Amino acid sequence: MDSKREKDQDAEFEKITAALLKSRTGEFDLESILFLKLRSHGIHDLGCVGECINLERLDLSGNNITNLAPLASLRLLSVLNLSANRISSLEPLRSCDNLQNLNLAGNIITSVESLHCLQSLRKLENIRLKDNTYNYTNPVCRNTSYRAIVLEMFPNIKVLDGERVVGRGSDLYQLCKDIDDTIKAGLYKNGQLIEHPDCKPWVEDSYWEIKRSNNAIIEEAYKQFNDVLHECRLLNNRAIHVISQTERSMSLKKQPKQYAI
């Protein structure tokens, strides 16, 4: 009996329904939902999620999603996590004008042409197609020119795959790396190491690789912390609203009854 009940519950999660959204968020009106997290529920059909037209943050990572069509109506969506799904076409995201942060790591996006539909999203500044922390990637990332092509396609991008490419710290990082590469190049002539007893690299050989890995981990931790913090604020606002309604209801009950004479 218990196994049958669990199976029925899993079946319910295969498609996003109004009942599922209301039970997960506590909101009766779908248009009132601002933040939604449905990680690892086995979802393959987005169902009525497009009716949540005021959604700002949506996490659907770790599901079996292939069709993004219902997301086309989410014009206010700013943060979208679709990592670890089975997505190959991003066309419906073309109309998500407010999108700023998009995580697509761990899908089946095969070419940079699949990303062309995102070029009209002027606010998009953070794209992730691979994530070394969880070993997520996409076939397009195997292209040796992948990073350069993506940065050229999206000149407004600040963070790509967890690594900051513009903004605070990025220019200094690149400058230091260029200096280090120049120093190392000066130590070789015709492929042979030249002995310079007073000239040594200023950092270890593996310094830059370790730095990039750490940046990716820190970026992911920062993103997850912000998600949790945002959810806590929403819960706090909802609690304040409920308390206010309860107090108002109690005060009305305490008022003395008035009779017409």
Q: Are residues 9 and 45 in the same domain?
A: yes
Q: Are residues 186 and 143 in the same domain?
A: no
Chain-centre distance for alpha carbon 98: 14
Angle between helices 170-186 and 207-254 (to 10 degrees): 170
**Backbone torsion region of residue 191, taken as left when φ is above 0, otherwise alpha when ψ lies between -120 and 50, otherwise beta:** left
Q: Model pTM?
A: 0.64
Q: For residue range 60-73, list pLDDT tens digits in order.
A: 999 999 999 999 99
Residue 131 has what DSSP assignment?
A: B
| Structural domain boundaries enclosing 101 | 2-162
Q: Are residues 129 and 189 in the same domain?
A: no
Q: For residue range 209-252, list pLDDT tens digits in order.
A: 534 445 555 666 666 677 777 777 777 777 787 787 777 777 77
Residue with tokens 């500044």: 125
- CATH number where 6 lies: 3.80.10.10
Which of 20-54 are b and which e, b meaning 16 or more Cβ less than 10 Å from the residue's Cβ? bbeeebeeeebeebbbbebeebebbbbbbbbbbee
